[in-house]
């Protein structure tokens, strides 16, 4: 135990790196290579957690060119980088090594190129200052400390076992920057845009536009900033608006000498390029209403709204995908299959519709074709909870227990409080002869949901397998 403790201390003492922005040495358990690897691993799930990509190559080329100029002018230009527009109404932007994105909902509200540069510069600042790596290092340090104290560090490769997306969750990768990190990203974003000839005063306006777009989005959702949803969590560590604007103003005043190109805003060319997505974004307001009604189980209203959206623009895969899930709720499997297929005719790689096809097969007891679709879904979105659970249950129902285990196990890691997954895992483990794992999962089932059918079964099996 003492030896492991000293290994732990040695790890802390030797795991320091120079921050590329501040030039100061700081504790860093995540190497740059690990950062890149984690970013690559996170990208597919982040893509689908934020609606998938918005398919407009000309738009992405134009915006990606601006993002690339900022990236190449920043502290770590050698890092890999791709730019994407995410097809969601949630107003947001994010960046990690290898992936920069802005959502349709935020992009449609911006007024000029300089505001876009301010938003993206801020997110790039988080990457260049290694803010996500700092946060993961702290989390890993806590876990390694616990592991060392429990005598469980042996056999691990330092922090490697902890620094996986499965452990930290892709959303956590983006959330909860502390206040000092947000301020540093603001300062870097203002500097980046000024160095490229943009008017840094537009950083102030960009922040106001972000605040307005967030409030507008929440109002359409019938929510407020005091809620527990994603967008409220996203804003929880941001400084108050009036304080932040004062601080950004001070940052602009402290910038080194800079030259503004033209008017420093480039509003006309920006608006010309984004006009199409602005028009489509307004149609998505109707889609968002349909989605909200679907979540409230108002399926008739949801169908009316989605058909209204389709009547305005019939080339959006998400519209047909949502219609497919409405049809599923109505047990209209033929209609659901037709709607999901239509979504895929528009966007052959649209993961939610591939999952939808799997659910159609699953709902009709056709487990082999369901498994095929769920595997296709997971190839695009490796952490998709629905596909993991449904694939595991499909294998379970055809008694291919060994193949069911990895899907159910991965789902349980994401959703440990699910009322049936541990019982299903217990049965699968028992049928493959892994009785120790079966006992563990049966005990988990009894803790989570003791009074369900699987909970009662778990109690009975524990009386046999672990009577003491």
The per-residue pLDDT for range 87-132, each reduced to its tens digit, is 999 999 998 888 999 999 999 999 999 999 999 999 999 999 887 7
Q: Are strands 25-27 and 93-96 parallel, antiparallel or unpaired?
A: unpaired
Residue 23 DSSP one-character state:
-
Tell me which H or E stretch contains 370.
helix 367-380
Its CATH architecture, for the domain 277-465, is Alpha Horseshoe (1.25)
**pLDDT for position 97:** 85
Using CA atoms, how far residue 48 sits from 44, 239, 300, in Å, is: 7, 28, 27
- For 350, the 3-state DSSP assignment is coil
> What number of H helices and E strands is found in the chain?
23, 5
Closest CA to 422 of 458, 453, 388, 386: 458
Q: Are strands 83-86 and 99-103 parallel, antiparallel or unpaired?
A: parallel
Number of alpha carbons in the 13 Å side-chain half-sphere of residue 439:
9
Closest CA to 313 of 282, 348, 353: 282
| Phi and psi at residue 91, to the nearest 5° | -75, 110
10 Å CB burial of residue 314 (0-12, 13-18, 19+) is exposed
b/e map 163-182, b = 16+ CB within 10 Å: bebeebebbebbeebeeebb
Q: Give me 130's structure tokens.
A: 């290694």
How many whole angstroms separate alpha carbon 57 and alpha carbon 71?
20
DSSP state letters, 403-447: HHHHHHHHHHHH-TT-TTHHHHHHHHHHHTT-HHHHHHHHHHHHH
Contact (Cβ atoms closer than 8 angstroms) between residue 413 and residue 168: no
How many whole angstroms separate alpha carbon 48 and alpha carbon 70?
25
Phi/psi region, residue 98 (left: phi>0; alpha: psi -120 to 50; beta: rest), is left
How many whole angstroms separate alpha carbon 46 and alpha carbon 169?
10
DSSP state letters, 129-145: TTHHHHHHHHHHHHHHH
How many whole angstroms separate alpha carbon 130 and alpha carbon 270?
30
**pLDDT for position 238:** 52
How many whole angstroms separate alpha carbon 47 and alpha carbon 275?
23
Using CA atoms, how far residue 344 sits from 190, 204, 377, in Å, is: 41, 41, 12
Q: Residues in the chain with pLDDT < 50?
A: 1-2, 4-14, 144-175, 230, 235-237
How many whole angstroms separate alpha carbon 180 and alpha carbon 85?
27
Domain ranges of the chain: 2-253, 277-465
Residues in the chain: 468
Q: Give the global pTM.
A: 0.85
Could you tell me which residues are beta bridge partners of residue 17? Answer: 26
Residue 90 DSSP one-character state:
S
Residue 53 DSSP one-character state:
B
Angle between the N-to-C axes of helices 179-195 and 131-149, in degrees from 0 to 180, rounded to the nearest 10: 150
For residue 4, the Cα-to-chain-centroid distance in whole angstroms is 35
| Phi and psi at residue 155, to the nearest 5° | 90, -10
Residue 200 DSSP one-character state:
T
**pLDDT for position 38:** 83
Three-class secondary structure assignment of 64-85: HHHHHHHHHCCCCCCCCCCEEE
Contact (Cβ atoms closer than 8 angstroms) between residue 385 and residue 414: yes
């Amino acid at each position: 135990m003492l030896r492991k403790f000293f290994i732990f201390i040695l790890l802390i003492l030797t795991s320091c790196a120079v921050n590329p922005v501040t030039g100061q040495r700081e504790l860093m358990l995540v190497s740059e290579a690990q950062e890149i690897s984690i970013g690559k691993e996170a990208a597919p799930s982040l893509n689908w957690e934020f609606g998938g990509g918005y398919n407009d190559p000309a738009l992405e080329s134009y915006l990606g060119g601006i993002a690339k100029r900022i990236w190449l002018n920043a502290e770590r230009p050698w890092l890999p980088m791709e730019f994407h527009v995410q097809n969601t109404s949630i107003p947001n932007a994010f960046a990690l090594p290898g992936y920069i994105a802005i959502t349709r909902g935020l992009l449609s509200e911006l007024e000029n190129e300089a505001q876009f540069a301010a938003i993206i510069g801020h997110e790039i600042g988080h990457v260049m200052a290694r803010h996500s790596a700092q946060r993961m290092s702290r989390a890993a340090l806590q876990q390694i400390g616990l592991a060392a104290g429990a005598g469980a560090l042996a056999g691990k490769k330092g922090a490697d076992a902890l620094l996986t997306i499965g452990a930290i969750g892709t959303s956590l990768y983006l959330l909860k920057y502390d206040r000092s990190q947000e301020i540093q990203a603001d300062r870097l974003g203002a500097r980046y845009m000024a160095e490229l000839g943009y008017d840094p005063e537009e950083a102030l306006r960009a922040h106001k536009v972000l605040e307005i777009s967030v409030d507008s989005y929440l109002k359409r959702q019938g929510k407020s900033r005091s809620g527990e949803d994603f967008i409220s969590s996203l804003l929880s560590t941001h400084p108050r608006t009036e304080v932040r604007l004062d601080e950004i103003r001070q940052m602009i005043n402290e910038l080194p000498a800079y030259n503004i190109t033209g008017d420093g805003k480039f509003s006309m060319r920006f608006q010309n390029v984004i006009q199409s997505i602005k028009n489509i974004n307004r149609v998505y307001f109707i889609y968002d209403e349909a989605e909200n009604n679907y979540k409230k189980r108002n399926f008739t209203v949801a169908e009316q709204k989605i058909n209204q959206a389709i009547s305005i623009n019939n080339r959006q895969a998400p519209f047909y995908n949502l219609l497919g899930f409405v049809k599923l709720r109505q047990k209209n499997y033929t209609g659901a299959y037709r709607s999901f297929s239509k979504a895929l005719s528009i966007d052959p790689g649209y993961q939610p519709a591939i999952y939808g096809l799997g659910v159609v097969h699953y709902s009709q007891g056709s487990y082999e074709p369901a498994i095929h679709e769920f595997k296709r879904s997971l190839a695009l979105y490796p952490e998709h909870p629905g596909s993991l659970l449904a694939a595991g249950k499909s294998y379970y129902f055809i008694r291919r227990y060994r193949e069911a285990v990895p899907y159910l196990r991965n789902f349980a890691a994401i959703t440990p409080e699910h009322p049936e997954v541990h019982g299903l895992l217990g049965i699968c483990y028992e049928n493959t002869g892994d009785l120790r794992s079966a006992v563990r999962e049966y005990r988990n089932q009894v803790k989570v949901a003791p009074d369900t059918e699987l909970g009662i079964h778990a109690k009975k099996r524990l009386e046999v397998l672990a009577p003491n």
